[in-house]
Structure formats: C-alpha cells, structure tokens
C-alpha cells in the first residue's frame, strides 16, 4: 500500500489531470451528442461543448491538478485569460479535426470525436502547465 501511495505521489499531477480530463471529456461528449441528437450543426455543437467543458476544466485544473491558489485578483485574471486564450487555440484545432474527419473525410463521428479528444487532452495538458506552473 505504501508503494502504491508513493507511486501516486510521484505521478499525482498526471493522474489528477487524467481524472479531471476524463470528467471534462465526459461533459464535452454529453453536450456534443445531446446537441447533435437535436440536429444542431457540427461546428456550433462542437464549439458549445468546448465552452461548457472549458469552464469546468479551468476551475478543476486550477484547484485539483495544479493547486494554483487564489492569492490575488491579478493572478486569477491572468490565469483565466491565459487559459481561455490557449483553449481558444485548442478549440480551433478541435473544430479543424472534426471538420476534416467528419465533413471532408466522412469518418465515423464518434470515432473522430474520440480521436479528437485524445489530441486535445494532450495539447491542453501542455497548455495548462504553461499557465499554472509558470515561474513567478
């Protein structure tokens, strides 16, 4: 049990990020497929799902994964704006993958969305590290 705890402590940030990333992806999928069920267009659906999941991801990553405090308003706003800008970049990548995979290549929407989310989770982890773990 002690070795398991030591292993967790060693990889805590990555384990927590994958857990929060899983929840964020679940929120994204539920929003995406619910909207698609009602016939809403691909880009609007994907963008809305991204926005809903990003709001959750910011607070969860800030608190649970990177343990970034709320020590000042300036720091909070810097992190929030940086997070949103970088997630905007990943949203462009997200939409591009979905458009190419589904609209252009006529791939299976579910499989393309899963592949898309794997790529986005990796990109967002790297982006988040830049924001929350930057040197003072």
- C-alpha 20/C-alpha 23 separation (Å) is 5
| CA contacts within 13 A on the Cβ side of 110 | 3
Provide the pLDDT for residue 2. Answer: 81
Report the domain count for the chain.
1
**Which two three-digit tokens encode residue 126?**
């790297």
Domain, as residue range, for 81: 2-132
- C-alpha 113/C-alpha 29 separation (Å) is 8
Provide the pLDDT for residue 134. Answer: 64
Q: pLDDT by residue for the chain (136 residues), tens digit each? A: 788 778 777 888 888 988 998 999 999 999 999 999 999 999 999 999 999 999 999 999 888 888 887 788 988 898 889 889 998 999 999 999 999 999 999 999 999 999 998 898 888 888 888 887 765 4
Full-model pTM: 0.79
């Amino acid at each position: 049990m002690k070795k398991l705890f030591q292993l967790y402590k060693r990889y805590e940030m990555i384990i927590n990020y994958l857990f929060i990333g899983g929840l964020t992806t679940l929120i994204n999928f539920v929003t995406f497929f619910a909207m698609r069920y009602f016939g809403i267009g691909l880009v609007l659906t994907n963008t809305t799902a991204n926005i809903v999941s990003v709001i959750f991801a910011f607070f969860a990553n800030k608190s649970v994964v990177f343990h970034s405090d709320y020590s000042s308003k300036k720091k909070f706003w810097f992190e929030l704006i940086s997070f949103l800008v970088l997630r905007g970049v990943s949203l462009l990548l997200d939409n591009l993958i979905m458009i190419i995979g589904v609209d252009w290549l006529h791939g299976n929407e579910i499989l393309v969305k899963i592949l898309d989310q794997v790529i986005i989770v990796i990109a967002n982890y790297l982006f988040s590290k830049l924001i929350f773990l930057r040197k003072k």
